[in-house]
Amino acid sequence: MLDDLEELVSCESYSADHAAVARSAAVVAEQGSRLLGARPQTLVTGGVTHLRWSFGTPRVLLLGHHDTVWPIGTLKTHPFSVRDGVARGPGVFDMKAGLVQMFHALSLLPSLDGVCVLVTGDEEVGSDTSRGLIEETARACRAALVLEASATGGALKTARKGVSHYDITVHGRAAHSGLDPEKGVNAATELAHHLLALRDITDTVNARTGPGTTITPTVMSAGTTTNTVPAQARLSIDARVPTPAAQTAVDDLLKGLVPHHPEARLEIGGGPNRPPLDAEASQSLFALAADIAGRTGLGPLQQTAVGGASDGNYTAGVGCPTLDGLGAVGDGAHADHEHVITADMPPRTQLLAHLVGALL
């Protein structure tokens, strides 16, 4: 398993580099073919390479991704290593160890009839090209098992917040900032009003729909030169919501913003990206996994709700019961200290094999 993990991590797969993602897909395809005894479908959509294995009539979907957030060249500063029971390297935790565990778990089963494996190449950037494929596949299945990394201490993820992304563009009017600033319409000042309004919108949504919504301004820019009134300003927003009602409320309030300055113009783009993964979608699957873990000496299992989203949000969103966080145990997703506890890889693999077998 560690040899397979090194092979996957050593093939860098930065989401924005479609050629690198294609190379990674080829490596994943070979590894999966060796362990599953069958070649996958290679599906290229919008330049992004996805892989799908189907055995008989799919009933159980195993879902993962092979792209990472790490730019090409990261291996030079974060090489793959295994020391003192800890594996490190770009994407090792999120989520290449999960792919290794998945393939090895399925190789333990006497039959794969009813299994569908989907490994996508753009999860880290919102799954724009794979969402339709994920939803189409999940609609035909009775359960979706997501091999994303576990939460702290190995807890399975039984609820995830939904995600919405917005971009606010303010159109003002340029003018010389020293000679006649009053002739301009300062887009930066206009944007500042809306930046501060996000706190009030957050409070309103939480009061209306219950706590848990966060609205975070992320990337912001304005202006062209230091002596010009900015004619344009932009703000990107990341919203996380616990319920569909909260997601709708955020969308309505943000898209209802109006200019403070009578001559400014607002352009608001974006909207919901992933629906929330409600705990009810995971309840029966977690109970089954916990029972299996207890009976086989692999437990006890813990569960938790997290703010991050995954493709499991999509499977749950189309009504497919979904259990997430079945992948690696470790820490540091998207961070320099990303790592996997190697001793936990075999028992997590055994748990997955038992779980898939029971569902089949």
Q: At what angle do helices 18-36 and 97-107 cross, to 10 degrees?
A: 20
| Pair of tokens at residue 22 | 């294609």
> What mean pLDDT is reported for the chain?
97
pLDDT number for residue 193: 97
What residues contact 289, with CB distance under 8 A and at least 6 apart? 156, 301, 323, 326, 351, 355
pLDDT beyond 90 at 299: no
The percentage of the chain sitting over the pLDDT mark of 90, rounded to a whole number, equals: 99
The percentage of the chain sitting over the pLDDT mark of 70, rounded to a whole number, equals: 100
Side-chain-facing half-sphere of 305: CA atoms under 13 Å: 16
Assign 341 a pLDDT band (cuts: 50, 70, 90). Answer: very high
What residues contact 212, with CB distance under 8 A and at least 6 apart? 161, 206, 241, 242, 243, 246
Average pLDDT over residues 111-124: 98
CB count within 10 Å of CB 89 equals 26
| Pair of tokens at residue 257 | 């913003």
pLDDT number for residue 132: 97
pLDDT number for residue 313: 96
pLDDT, tens only, 120-163: 999 999 999 999 999 999 999 999 999 999 999 999 999 999 99
Assign 332 a pLDDT band (cuts: 50, 70, 90). Answer: very high
Alpha-carbon span 71 to 14, nearest angstrom? 5
CB count within 10 Å of CB 21 equals 27
Task: Look at residue 254 and give its three-state secondary structure.
Answer: helix
Average pLDDT over residues 55-74: 98
pLDDT, tens only, 188-197: 999 999 999 9
Assign 279 a pLDDT band (cuts: 50, 70, 90). Answer: very high
Do residues 349 and 326 touch, judged by C-beta distance below 8 A?
no
Average pLDDT over residues 317-345: 97
Which amino acid, residue 341? I
Average pLDDT over residues 3-27: 98
Domains in the chain, CATH or no CATH each? 2-160+277-359 (3.40.630.10), 162-274 (3.30.70.360)
Do residues 173 and 263 touch, judged by C-beta distance below 8 A?
yes
pLDDT number for residue 89: 98
Alpha-carbon span 292 to 180, nearest angstrom? 74
Alpha-carbon span 235 to 219, nearest angstrom? 6
Q: Reduced to 3 DSSP states, what percent helix, strand and coil does the chain have, rounded to the nearest 5?
A: 40, 25, 35
The sign of the dihedral angle between the CA atoms of 181, 186, 190, 196 is negative
Task: Look at residue 282 and give its three-state secondary structure.
Answer: coil
Considering only CA atoms, which of 240, 185, 181 is closest in space to residue 215?
Answer: 240
pLDDT, tens only, 156-190: 999 999 999 999 999 999 999 999 999 999 999 99
The sign of the dihedral angle between the CA atoms of 279, 285, 290, 293 is negative
